[in-house]
């Protein structure tokens, strides 16, 4: 695992004494007084006090595994067999100096020439003078298809066209440029919150001083007085933290300039999404060109593999890497790939081909061990090939020889997937197997907490009843008649109960293990069985379990010994597998892994805050599980704090999934839970997996983020990896790249299939390289960038104060945009905000990330909730992070009943709501149906079969099954959305102007948040200001 700290670590590691890492005249005038951090309010620390006590690079890695716990041979560590004497691995033990290489170019001396140091006041003055003419400019139409898409949609910029003619320039209404008045205690950009009328009646009762209410950071709908009392003053204070605050405010604020602001004048994510859909949706996208930017993740199209991996498997932050590390440092654009190796491919796209070379196994480069792929160049009449990754010349094995045609291409090019496709699989040989033995099919062990609460809530019976039918649907290979997966059952409270369910038994037998200090497995034969063979015994057991513990009054539970037991059982059976654990409470019983409540709000935002770090014993347990191919899926039903950070780490490290149902109520929450369980059990996964990412010369993978475990710097280990899990990989230069050769990436995942076959899944992608920064910016993908920023920041908070992590994100945003402005845009006034076309919605996403619960340290947000979201996002792919950080808001009052088309989403802001409408909001975890106070009766009738809004119960978590066309249409939309998401969302019905609306409003990410987060407009102001400072 890379020992590097957070992405921008060097900014601080190279810091000058007393300047908190910002070299003089380069960073914000006062880095401590930073934007949007609610906790910096009123503190106004002196420059130089911002110093982390946490050393950089201490990103909480844990020491190596104890000897012997990992059963892979050295060979397997390298993702497959290698030949003795030829182990020249580029990735072996990168020199320490490389590891210390800045993740990101820093605010450091090197960069200073680019941004000459000037007294920041001059920038401010300049800004103040030109505020009224501030422009947002989408940088001209460019030649790549993707940028054509976005820039070809001028509707997003509705202002007047201004010179120079080569750029699309749009003047923002003066409101945006108006700085907050210096004498305003709130220090707010008042102009972004125009009169109440703008909220179209969405506000609750208008407060006596409505303008002040809004200024003090209240979310729209601020009619909730308790909330005002709680958050008002603090939020107001937080607004002081705009870096340097806009100067010259009062004069600017006065007079007619305080116009109604047109939100359409700033870049709209919806327009970017919709124009890409219009341009590329429904079409065939062939991956035949290196460095080609794929359609957005929100665009439906048919992908044809023609030599590079489908964007379903790999998406990159940019499809053109800068040629040198100096150039990369200048731009500070993260170079990363988000790899979702088991992504689901729709039925109208080709499934992966499997290549089988029998006992010979896959063909690999002798030197770098890269697998045969389209990047290998055949020479000497086809007798040898040059490796595209390390340039080594290899002999072609005799059995693989083929003549070349006049272009130098093998005659069998299109007959062999490994020569012509970006993605394919190899059947692995024994060399690739644990202990050189063919693997057994994986096993699923169901482990049910049968303590008083779970029995009493009906959960135990619910799980048992569901399993009776669900076990028939265990995943199987296409050609298999039934699933090869073995199943086993354990129940527990303070002790463990194992069950013998051998098919020959008439009744299941229970064995109790009460020594939980050192768990042993009381039976081998009969614990793991084939469901089909033992069906009657298993059904019998599932019938009996709820009865068996019906009279329990045991309320204490264990947890770590449960996982230990599951892992030992898999180990004893010599197979990989998954544990499905159904648990409710903090494990307080006397046993290893006993937890206590360590949720101390007093430590919030202090260096002592360790709420995200797991207890060491859990981390060790997690690593042990990975070493034994044991993946842990945790379904947790908490009523209070349960230390998700500790309990969840086992799930996270083992590639498992964490499902959380707060205050579980059988009636209201069963549908969500059962749907999650069904989906999870049916998922296709790879087991006992090791992933390795190889690159062509000049750059290499340096950091990895995901539900993974690493014991060295190169091997990404996952006890299991399913279709929804993505690993984000960061790359760094270690030499110059070559524009002709490009930057090639090969991801190989060695795994055991559900039928017990050892396989290699290979994904290849080629990117371009350029010495022109403009090429790099042109091919950026904002959705992938946000995935990277979220995961790297969520990892960084383990070792760095939240505040610093947040500042780094803001600084980096400004830096990337300033570098573009300086090097790629045509000359224009400093006051113009110019955004690269491919990054024009980066600020709105970045602002949403900054407002996420994980990055906002507020006592109101439960610690477990933050730890939970942190874990979920860390494993997400690009589509999931896109939706999570920019929820979909669909107008339902304008449904076209005749077409199948889902209505286009609107921007995530209260302004887009209307009291006569109904809207669906979805972010992948939450789902709301918002109903306006004047929603037409036909609409209410159609959805709910009641005459008016007042008759609708907001307790309901699903819609009534009605025969009305409206209801059916809505149902089909919900089903469609849900089918594509890994987590089942519980529907919450929210009526305008009622209390639960507060929760709903938090998801309107373009607006100010109740936790002090800025509106999109304010954030854009802030970023623009930082850019001006960097440029001055």
> What is the smallest separation between the CB atom of 730 and Zn ion, expressed in angstroms?
22
Query: Residue 441 burial (CB < 10 Å; 0-12/13-18/19+)?
Result: buried
Shorter beta-carbon distance to Zn ion: residue 89 or 148: 89
392 belongs to the binding site for Zn ion (CB under 5 A): yes
Q: Which is nearer to Zn ion, 373 or 727 (CB)?
A: 373
Q: Return the number of the residue (7 or 365) whose C-beta is nearest Zn ion.
A: 365
Query: Which stretch of DSSP H or E encloses residue 884?
Result: helix 878-885
Neighbours of 242 (CB within 10 A): 23
User: Which of 99, 96, 114 has its CA nearest to residue 23?
Assistant: 114
Minimum Å distance from CB 28 to Zn ion? Answer: 45
Strands 709-710 and 716-722: antiparallel
Q: Is 756 helix (H, G, I), strand (E, B) or coil?
A: coil
Distance in Å, CB of 697 to Zn ion, minimum = 9
Residue 370 CB, nearest approach to Zn ion (Å)? 5
**Minimum distance from CB of 376 to Zn ion (Å)?**
9
Give exposure, 942-967, as e/b (b: 16+ Cβ within 10 Å). bbbbeeebeebeeeebebeebebebb
Q: Which is nearer to Zn ion, 290 or 367 (CB)?
A: 367
Question: Which residues lie below 8 Å from residue 608, measured CB to CB, with a gap of 6+?
Answer: none
Q: Residue 897 carries which DSSP code?
A: T
Residues 223-252 that bind Zn ion (CB under 5 A): none
- Collapse the DSSP code of 86 into the 3-class scheme (helix H, G, I; strand E, B; otherwise coil) and give the result: coil
Q: Are 509 and 522 in contact (CB under 8 A)?
A: no
CA 484 to chain centre: 32
Nearer to Zn ion among residue 367 and residue 907 (C-beta): 367
CB of 407 to Zn ion, least distance (A): 23
Shortest reach from residue 389's CB to Zn ion, in Å: 4
Nearest approach in angstroms of CB 743 to Zn ion is: 15
Nearest approach, Cβ of 390 to Zn ion (angstroms)? 3
- Quote the CA–CA distance of 380 and 120 in Å, as a whole number: 63
Of 959-1018, which residues contact Zn ion (CB under 5 A)?
A: none
Supply φ then ψ for residue 977, to 5 degrees.
-60, -45
- Asked if 693 interacts with Zn ion (CB under 5 A), we say no
Polymer length in residues for the chain = 1032
Q: How far is CA 811 from CA 145, 225, 663, 703, in A?
A: 30, 35, 40, 21
Stretch that binds Zn ion, among 372-380, 392-400, 411-419, 532-540 (CB under 5 A): 392-400
* Other beta carbons less than 10 A from residue 792's beta carbon: 27
Largest separation between any pair of C-alpha atoms in the chain: 89
Q: Supply 147's token pair.
A: 């940028």
Which range, of 104-112, 388-396, 928-936, 973-981, touches Zn ion by CB under 5 A? Answer: 388-396
Stretch that binds Zn ion, among 335-343, 383-391, 544-552, 593-601 (CB under 5 A): 383-391
Q: Which stretch binds Zn ion (CB under 5 A): 85-93, 390-398, 422-430, 821-829?
A: 390-398
370 or 443: whose CB is closer to Zn ion? 370
Residue (372 or 443) nearer to Zn ion, CB? 372
Which of 163, 99, 167, 181 is CA-nearest to residue 139? 167
Taking the least distance from each CB to Zn ion, the nearer of 390 and 767 is 390
Smallest distance, Å, CB 387 to Zn ion? 3
Closest CB to Zn ion among residues 621, 737? 737
Binding mask 343-382 for Zn ion (x = CB under 5 A): ----------------------x-xx-x------------
Between 493 and 746, name the residue whose CB sits nearer to Zn ion.
Answer: 746
Strand partners, 987: 927
Total of residues contacting Zn ion (CB under 5 A): 8
CB of 409 to Zn ion, least distance (A): 20
**390 in contact with Zn ion (CB under 5 A):** yes
Of 370 and 855, CB closest to Zn ion: 370
Per-residue binder mask for Zn ion (CB under 5 A), 62-91, x = binder: ------------------------------
Alpha-carbon span 745 to 766, nearest angstrom: 6
Calpha distance 484→973 (Å, rounded) = 35
Question: What residues contact 1017, with CB distance under 8 A and at least 6 apart?
Answer: 176, 189, 192, 261, 263, 266, 1006
Candidate ranges 67-75, 115-123, 312-320, 385-393; the one touching Zn ion (CB under 5 A): 385-393
Minimum CB–partner distance for residue 877 and Zn ion (Å): 29
Nearer to Zn ion, 34 or 763 (CB): 763
Rounded Cα–Cα distance for residues 763 and 414 (Å): 17
CA 974/CA 972 separation, integer angstroms: 5
The minimum distance between CB 403 and Zn ion, in angstroms, equals: 23
Stretch that binds Zn ion, among 387-395, 620-628, 830-838, 943-951 (CB under 5 A): 387-395
Q: Phi and psi at residue 264, in whole multiples of 5°? A: -70, -5
Measured CA to CA, the distance from residue 595 to residue 618 in angstroms comes to 10
Measured from the CB atom, is 86 or 675 closer to Zn ion? 86
Residue 1032, Cβ density class (10 Å: 0-12 exposed, 13-18 middle, ≥19 buried) = buried
Pairing of strands 716-722, 658-660: unpaired
Q: How far is the CB of 91 from Zn ion (least distance, A)?
A: 12
Tokens of 1023: 């970023």
CB of 426 to Zn ion, least distance (A): 16
Q: Compute the 3-state secondary structure of the chain and give helix, strand, coil in percent, each to the nearest 5.
A: 35, 15, 50
Q: Among the residues of 751-801, which ranges form H helices?
A: 773-778, 782-796
Phi, psi (degrees; rounded to nearest 5) at 674 = -65, -40
Q: 332 or 367, CB closer to Zn ion?
A: 367
Q: Does 188 bind Zn ion (CB under 5 A)?
A: no
Residue (375 or 886) nearer to Zn ion, CB: 375
Find the shortest distance in angstroms from Cβ 419 to Zn ion.
16
| Cβ neighbours around 128 below 10 Å, total | 18
Q: Is 389 in the site for Zn ion (CB under 5 A)?
A: yes
Interface with Zn ion (CB under 5 A), residue from 387, 542, 790, 849:
387
> Cα separation of 587 and 560, whole Å?
8
In terms of CB distance, is 394 or 755 closer to Zn ion?
A: 394
CA distance 177 to 128: 9
114: how many CB neighbours lie within 10 A of its CB? 16
- Residue 392 Cβ, how far from Zn ion at the closest point, in Å? 5
- Measured from the CB atom, is 79 or 216 closer to Zn ion? 79
Short-list 499, 369, 470, CA closest to 79: 369
CB of 355 to Zn ion, least distance (A): 18
Please, which residue, 365 or 1005, has the CB nearer to Zn ion?
Answer: 365
In angstroms, the CA 80 to CA 428 distance is 8
Stretch in the footprint of Zn ion (CB under 5 A) among 91-99, 386-394, 552-560, 770-778? 386-394
Looking only at residues 582 through 611 of this chain, which bind Zn ion when binding is defined by CB under 5 A?
none
Binding residues for Zn ion, rule: CB under 5 A, are: 365, 367-368, 370, 387, 389-390, 392
């Amino acid at each position: 695992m890379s020992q590097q700290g957070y992405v921008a670590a060097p900014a601080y590691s190279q810091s000058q004494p007393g300047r908190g890492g910002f070299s003089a005249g380069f960073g914000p005038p006062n880095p401590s007084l930073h934007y949007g951090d609610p906790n910096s309010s009123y503190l106004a620390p002196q420059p130089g006090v911002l110093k982390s006590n946490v050393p950089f690079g201490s990103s909480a890695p844990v020491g190596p595994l104890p000897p012997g716990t990992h059963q892979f041979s050295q060979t397997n560590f390298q993702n497959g067999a290698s030949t003795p004497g030829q182990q020249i691995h580029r990735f072996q033990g990168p020199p320490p100096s490389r590891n210390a290489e800045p993740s990101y170019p820093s605010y450091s001396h090197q960069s200073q020439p680019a941004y000459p140091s000037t007294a920041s006041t001059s920038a401010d003055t300049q800004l103040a003078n030109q505020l009224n003419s501030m422009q947002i400019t989408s940088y001209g139409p460019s030649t790549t298809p993707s940028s054509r898409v976005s820039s070809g949609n001028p509707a997003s910029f509705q202002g007047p066209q201004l010179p120079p003619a080569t750029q699309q320039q749009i003047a923002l209404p003066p409101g945006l440029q108006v700085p907050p008045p210096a004498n305003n205690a709130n220090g707010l950009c008042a102009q972004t919150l125009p009169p109440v009328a703008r909220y179209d009646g969405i506000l609750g009762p208008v407060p006596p001083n409505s303008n002040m209410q809004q200024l003090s950071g209240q979310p729209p709908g601020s009619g909730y007085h308790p909330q005002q009392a709680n958050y008002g003053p603090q939020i107001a204070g937080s607004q002081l933290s705009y870096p340097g605050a806009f100067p010259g405010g009062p004069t600017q604020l006065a007079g007619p300039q305080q116009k109604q602001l047109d939100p359409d004048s700033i870049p709209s994510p919806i327009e970017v999404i919709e124009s890409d859909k219009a341009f590329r949706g429904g079409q065939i996208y062939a991956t035949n060109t290196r460095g080609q930017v794929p359609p957005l993740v929100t665009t439906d199209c048919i992908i044809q593999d023609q030599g590079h991996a489908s964007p379903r498997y790999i998406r990159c932050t940019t499809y053109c890497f800068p040629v040198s590390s100096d150039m990369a440092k200048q731009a500070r654009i993260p170079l990363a790939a988000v790899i979702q190796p088991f992504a689901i491919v729709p039925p109208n796209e080709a499934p992966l081909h499997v290549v089988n070379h029998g006992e010979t196994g896959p063909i690999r480069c002798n030197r770098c061990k890269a697998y045969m792929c389209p990047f290998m160049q055949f020479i000497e009449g086809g007798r040898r090939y040059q490796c595209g990754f390390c340039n080594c010349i290899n002999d072609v094995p005799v059995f693989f020889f083929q003549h070349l045609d006049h272009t130098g291409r093998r005659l069998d090019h299109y007959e062999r997937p490994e020569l012509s496709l970006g993605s394919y699989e190899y059947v692995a040989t024994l060399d690739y197997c644990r202990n050189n033995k063919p693997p057994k099919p994986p096993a699923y062990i169901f482990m049910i907490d049968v303590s008083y609460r779970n029995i009493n809530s009906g959960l135990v019976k619910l799980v048992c009843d569901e399993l009776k039918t669900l076990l028939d649907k265990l995943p199987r290979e296409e050609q298999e008649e039934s699933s090869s997966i073995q199943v086993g059952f354990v129940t527990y409270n303070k002790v463990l109960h194992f069950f013998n369910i051998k098919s020959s038994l008439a009744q299941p037998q229970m064995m109790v293990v009460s020594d939980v200090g050192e768990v042993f497995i009381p039976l081998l034969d009969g614990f793991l069985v084939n469901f089909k063979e033992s069906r009657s015994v298993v059904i019998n057991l599932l019938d009996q379990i709820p009865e068996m513990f019906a009279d329990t009054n045991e309320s204490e539970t264990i947890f770590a010994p449960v996982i230990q037991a599951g892992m030992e059982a898999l180990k004893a059976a010599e197979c990989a597998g998954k544990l499905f654990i159904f648990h409710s409470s903090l494990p307080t019983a006397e046993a290893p892994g006993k937890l206590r409540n360590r949720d101390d709000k007093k430590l919030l935002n202090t260096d002592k805050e360790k709420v995200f770090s797991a207890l060491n014993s859990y981390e060790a347990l997690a690593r042990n599980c990975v070493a034994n191919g044991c993946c842990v899926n945790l379904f947790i039903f908490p009523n209070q704090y349960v230390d998700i950070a500790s309990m969840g780490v086992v799930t996270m490290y083992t590639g498992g999934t964490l499902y959380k149902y707060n205050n579980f109520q059988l009636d209201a929450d069963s549908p969500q839970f059962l749907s999650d369980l069904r989906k999870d059990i049916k998922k296709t996964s790879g087991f006992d997996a090791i992933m390795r990412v190889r690159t062509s010369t000049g750059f290499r993978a340096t950091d990895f983020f995901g539900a993974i475990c690493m014991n060295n710097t190169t091997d990404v280990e996952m006890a299991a990896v399913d279709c929804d899990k993505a690993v984000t990989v960061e790359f760094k230069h270690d030499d110059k790249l070559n524009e002709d050769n490009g930057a090639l990436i090969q991801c190989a995942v060695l795994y055991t299939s559900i039928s017990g076959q050892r396989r290699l899944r290979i994904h290849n992608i080629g990117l371009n390289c350029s010495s022109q920064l403009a090429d790099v910016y042109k091919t950026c993908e904002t959705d992938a960038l946000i995935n990277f920023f979220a995961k790297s920041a969520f990892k960084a908070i383990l070792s760095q104060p939240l505040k610093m992590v947040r500042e780094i994100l803001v600084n980096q945003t400004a830096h990337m945009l300033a570098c573009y402005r300086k090097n790629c845009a045509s000359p224009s006034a400093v006051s113009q905000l110019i955004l690269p076309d491919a990054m024009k919605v980066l600020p709105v996403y970045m602002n949403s990330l900054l407002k996420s619960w994980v990055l906002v340290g507020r006592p109101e947000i439960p610690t477990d909730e933050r730890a939970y979201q942190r874990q979920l996002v860390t494993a997400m792919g690009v589509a999931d992070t896109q939706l999570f950080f920019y929820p979909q808001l669909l107008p339902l009052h304008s449904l076209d009943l005749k077409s199948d088309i889902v209505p286009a989403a609107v921007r995530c802001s209260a302004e887009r709501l209307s009291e006569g409408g109904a809207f669906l909001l979805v972010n992948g975890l939450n789902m709301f149906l918002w109903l306006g106070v004047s929603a037409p009766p036909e609409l209410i009738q159609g959805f709910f079969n009641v005459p008016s809004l007042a008759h609708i119960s907001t307790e309901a978590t699903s819609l009534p099954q009605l025969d009305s066309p409206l209801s059916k249409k809505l149902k089909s939309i919900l089903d469609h959305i849900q089918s594509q998401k890994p987590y089942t969302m519980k529907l919450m019905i929210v009526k305008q102007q009622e209390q639960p609306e507060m929760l709903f409003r938090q998801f309107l990410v373009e607006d100010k948040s109740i936790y002090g987060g800025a509106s999109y407009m304010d954030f854009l102001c802030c970023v623009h200001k930082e850019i001006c400072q960097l440029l001055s």
